[in-house]
Amino acid sequence: MKHTYKDVLVALSPLIFLLILLGTNVYIMGDASQDGGNQIILILSGLLAAGLGIKRGVHWQSMMESVEKNVASTSQALIILLLIGALSGTWMAGGIVPTMMFYGVQWMHPVYYLPLTAIITAIIAIVIGSSWSTTATIGIALIAISEPLGIPTHIAAGAIISGAYFGDKISPLSDTTNLAAAMAGTDVVSHIKYLMITTVPSFLITLILFAGIGYYFLDSSVAFTPDLSMQIVLEEHFHISAWYFIVPLLVVILIAKKVPAIPALSFGVLGGVICMLAFQDLPISTVGKYQFIHDAILQTYGPAETLSGLLQTSGMAGMLSTIWLILAAMFFGGIMEACGFLKILTMAMLSKAKSETALVGATAASAILVNVSASDQYLSIVIPGRMFAGNYPEYNLAPENLSRTLEDAGTVTSVLVPWNTCGAYQSAVLGIPTLAFLPFAFFNILSPLMTLIVSWKKVKIKRIRC
């Protein structure tokens, strides 16, 4: 079905309205924009889309059914967010994160912290097949180590995100990797092999950029000496022991063994509580112990005032604004999809694809558009995958070209959108606003550009065998 320019303009209106208001809110409120403003704007944009949809004959009930479906799809992610809040609190109060900080500052050096961080998170993500679980475990520790080393936390977050998404992208255990292969009609092994053509160069460039930033800090006379004052404070408030590394290691092993994230993270929370009870100095009374554990799991916890910025966690309560953001995004995305606006915009892009490179570009643009409008990385793979699957054979392109583009543009850019489930999640876990780490998530920025360059230069383009 061919859509008129008026149809495209109507479909685009809620998205333009959303981006203008979000940009204004971020400009005025800065880091506080996610404390309520962005959520309200998403709901208002959803209501605008609903009004336009009703005018086009779409029933309100159909929109709400779409919203309910979207919200249901995020239910597991919302529970995981709450568990991450509990995990960060219990790992801090139990001495696990302080121990990682204590030894990490001794072992790491500013000049190689960033590339090494990207490599470590990449390896973990390949093994467990999840960028989310990677940042929730080793990512929490690495972000805590960065500030004592003199590395700004938003740059450190960029390295963590880059490595985690590289590993997730090429892991045969990753859900998005398998989904992209399935949507394109190829097997996951062929998909990963073909993916290496764009993924490996993107990651190598990322490592070079982070190494350059490391040398910048060294050349800027940020001399590396272990922060003994921090270590003294850590030892004053926590019992430090390398044995605590067992807890995060067991969590990583459980996830690698395909234990679902919720029970694996619950085990991590339990491990943190055990470390609190067995090794840390808790109040003697039963009520005091209960209050200590309660605060670590549910609300703000920060025992050392001199290091409050490094040691303070907000528990489950700190995740509530992110959960609100995700729910508001699902409201907007569900209405956009129910009204057919996403399909109209995707078809408009498809109509402009008159060459191989244009087809790849339209697919990539559609995936990014869905990430921005529907706020879900799975939809950024499924919707363009369905829409463009029949067009690649017309250019004699093997299905791996489609699956690679979906991954390069859909999976990795989801984390760069503040109201996307991935962007909101990673921001909450690492404690860094999405727009702050976005310029340093080099791998995520380079990947869609690399897929366009490879298509344009016809680098090892896989054809359909006649």
Axis-axis angle for helices 175-184, 399-406 (nearest 10): 140
Tell me the β-bridge partners of 131.
none
Minimum mean pLDDT range among 135-149, 210-224, 421-435? 210-224
pLDDT digits (tens, 9 = 90+) for 102-158: 777 677 778 888 999 999 999 988 888 888 888 888 888 888 888 777 788 999 999
> Given the structure tokens 């963590």, which residue do they identify?
160
Is 362 strand, coil or helix?
helix
- Distance CA(336)–CA(359), nearest Å, equals 23
Alpha-carbon distance values, 216 to 220, 443, 456 (Å): 6, 20, 34
Minimum mean pLDDT range among 186-200, 234-248, 307-321? 307-321
Q: How confident is the model at residue 224 (pLDDT cuts 50, 70, 90)?
A: low
What is residue 218's predicted lDDT score, i.e. its pLDDT? 58
Q: How confident is the model at residue 80 (pLDDT cuts 50, 70, 90)?
A: confident
- Distance CA(406)–CA(123), nearest Å, equals 22
What is residue 225's predicted lDDT score, i.e. its pLDDT? 57
- Distance CA(66)–CA(71), nearest Å, equals 9
Domain layout of the chain by residue ranges:
5-74+321-456, 76-319
- Distance CA(402)–CA(216), nearest Å, equals 39
Mean per-residue pLDDT, 397-409: 92
What is residue 406's predicted lDDT score, i.e. its pLDDT? 92
Burial (Cβ within 10 Å: 0-12, 13-18, ≥19) of residue 285 = exposed
Q: Which two tokens stand for residue 95?
A: 């001495």
pLDDT digits (tens, 9 = 90+) for 242-273: 888 888 888 888 877 878 878 888 998 999 88
Total-model pTM: 0.82
- Distance CA(312)–CA(274), nearest Å, equals 20
Mean per-residue pLDDT, 304-326: 71
